[in-house]
Amino acid sequence: MTATAAPLDLLLLPTWLVPVEPAGVVLKEHGLGIRDGRIAFIGPRAAALKLSANEVRELPGMLLSPGLINAHGHAAMSLFRGLADDLPLMTWLEKHIWPAEAKWVDEAFVRDGTDLAIAEQLKGGITCFSDMYFYPKVASDCVHNSGMRAQIAIPILDFPIPGASTPDEAIRQGVELFGDLKHHPRIKITFGPHAAYTVCDDNLEKIRVIAEELDAAIHMHVHETAFEVQQAVEQTGERPLARLGRLGLLGPRFQAVHMTQISEDDLALLVESNTSIIHCPESNLKLASGFCPVERLWQAGVNVAIGTDGAASNNDLDLLGETRTAAMLAKAVAGSATALDAHRALRMATLNGARAMGLESEIGSLEVGKAADIVAFDLSGLAQQPIYDPVSQLIYATGRDCVKHLWVAGKQLLDDRQLTRMDEQQLTATAIAWGQRISGHSE
């Protein structure tokens, strides 16, 4: 069926259109047509106006890009935002976060926290996110109801966690959820062993076997801090990444989150296995965890995506801001002003995230046939003028408050900064009530 066979559901006419693929391209005065939730047309404005469309939206001063992809986070932890700031990772986890989780996390917490995170992310231009947290079925229900797209990683640790008293129970729940949702158009289930220091070889082997059988991805914190790597070497004589390689976990379906410590051997292993890395610069900076050498990885051909991590360690779910930080940090770490330019930074926040999740044929770029996951950024404001390169202005001079409209699979979830399916006032009131309970100011 050609693009003109039936009327378009929606024709968007922005000032700029950045497809991300092909790389480095900015299309001026072009239109994008959507039909049945997919991109059906991209072409010059004059050609677009000749097409029949049920709705036409003029978007002057706006840049249309693929929806941003937040490739790592813990959505429900938005309810712990600011709870235990300015502490090193292990102190933060062991003394504050883990005890708070043991006390407060239940299905209601996960539902309310995930809804809060979804709303924040939609308002920030994110159309797809990866979530790794307890009660994953509850989180998947939230995603389903919201219209958003997500990868849900089933959390697996060697000790009891909220919602699963043993690792075997967590794996079993994961397999069941994978089966239930394998045909869901917007939700992908993956397995999320927490980290090398919280999951033993036997459980990692089980996860590897099941992930291979189901062709499912594995999403895991790896080399988050120098201490983690040093402790592993002292205890076992082996770096965590090397251990994962020996156990057969690394590969194109493996998502290594953080990777602030990368030796020459680590780099060789990443390249050889075609493993993706999820870079979370602001969480790593805030927890003083180290610096992921993004430019070195990029030049070696490693796929690097970007994530915010949870709001308890960031403290926001602002992927546009995260991408700006990533671009700045990459330059400082590489000692080169040409490292991670604006166009590559945007690619990292879109198509690279899709590739890490195995969704690159579906989302991550604006191409005919792909799902219509699209965001419109308003660059007409004072702070964006004058515009020489709209992608540079987007990355270096624009905040998430410039996100104007957003569509997932052709459905508009943000219209002129307003959420179309969620009640922002209700979400805010619910979050405030949780904060009062957790801080002990109410019963």
Q: What is the CATH number of the domain that holds 27?
A: 2.30.40.10
Q: Looking at the predicted structure, is the pLDDT value of residue 2 above 50?
A: no
Q: Could you tell me the CATH number of the domain that includes residue 77?
A: 3.20.20.140
Alpha carbon separation from 58 to 35, 281, 370, 380 (Å, rounded): 17, 36, 22, 14
Number of domains in the chain: 2
Percent helix, percent strand, percent coil in the chain, to nearest 5:
40, 25, 35
- Look at residue 442 and tell me whether its pLDDT is greater than 60: no
What integer pLDDT is reported at residue 106 of this predicted model?
A: 97
Supply the pTM of this predicted model: 0.97
Structure tokens at 367: 């191409």
59/72 same-domain check: no
Distance from C-alpha of 330 to C-alpha of 64, rounded to nearest angstrom: 25
Distance CA 75, CA 57 (A): 32
Q: Which domain holds residue 100?
A: 68-356
Task: Say yes or no: 57 and 26 in one domain.
Answer: yes
Say which range, 26-40, 82-96, 259-273, has the weakest mean pLDDT. 82-96
Q: Is the pLDDT of residue 439 over 80?
A: yes
Q: Answer yes or no: is pLDDT of 328 > 50.
A: yes
Do 106 and 162 form a contact (C-beta atoms < 8 A)?
Answer: yes
- The answer to whether residue 423 sits within a structural domain is no
Q: Is residue 427 part of a domain?
A: no
pLDDT digits (tens, 9 = 90+) for 371-386: 999 999 999 999 999 9
Predicted pLDDT at 125: 98
User: Peptide bond before 88: cis, by omega within 30 degrees of 0?
Assistant: no
What average pLDDT does the structure give for the chain? Answer: 96
Q: Is the pLDDT of residue 66 over 90?
A: yes
- Shared-domain flag, residues 36 and 74: no
272 lies in some domain: yes
pLDDT attached to residue 392:
98
Together in a domain, 30 and 131: no
DSSP 98-138: HHHHHHH-SHHHHHHHHHHHHHHHHHTTEEEEEEE-SSHHH
- For residue 426, is it within any domain? no
Given a cut of 60, whether residue 148 has pLDDT beyond it is: yes
Name the pLDDT band for 90 (thresholds 50, 70, 90): confident
Residues in the chain: 443
Interatomic CA distance for residues 205 and 191, integer angstroms? 12
Q: What is the three-class DSSP state of 53? A: strand
Q: What is the percentage of the chain residues whose pLDDT exceeds 70?
A: 98
In a domain, residue 246? The reply is yes
Domain end marker among 293, 321, 356: 356
Rounded-to-integer distance, Cα 149 and Cα 302, Å: 25
**Residue 89 has what pLDDT?**
84
Q: Which range, of 91-100, 227-236, 256-265, averages the lowest pLDDT? A: 91-100
Q: For 180-226, write each residue's pLDDT tens digit.
A: 999 999 999 999 999 999 999 999 999 999 999 999 999 999 999 99
182 with 326, same domain: the answer is yes
Collapse the DSSP code of 267 into the 3-class scheme (helix H, G, I; strand E, B; otherwise coil) and give the result: helix
| CA–CA dist 70, 16 (Å, integer) | 23
Shared domain check, 239 and 330: yes
Please, which pLDDT band fits residue 441 given cuts at 50, 70 and 90? low
The answer to whether residue 433 is domain-embedded is no
Are residues 165 and 311 both part of a single domain? yes
Q: What is the mean pLDDT of residues 128-149?
A: 98
Same domain, 290 and 194: yes
Mean pLDDT of 106-110: 98
Which of 7-21, 82-96, 244-258, 420-434 has the least mean pLDDT? 82-96
In a domain, residue 73? The reply is yes
pLDDT exceeding 90 applies to what percent of the chain? Answer: 95
Taking the C-alpha atoms of residue 211 and residue 153, their distance in angstroms, rounded to an integer, is: 12
Do residues 29 and 81 share a domain?
Answer: no
Q: Are residues 60 and 100 in the same domain?
A: no
| Number of neighbours of residue 377 by Cβ within 10 angstroms | 28
Q: How confident is the model at residue 5 (pLDDT cuts 50, 70, 90)?
A: confident
Element (H, E) at 213: helix 201-214
Could you tell me if 72 and 62 lie in one domain?
no
User: Both 137 and 49 in a single domain?
Assistant: no
Q: Which helix (DSSP H) or strand (DSSP E) does residue 235 occupy?
A: helix 226-236
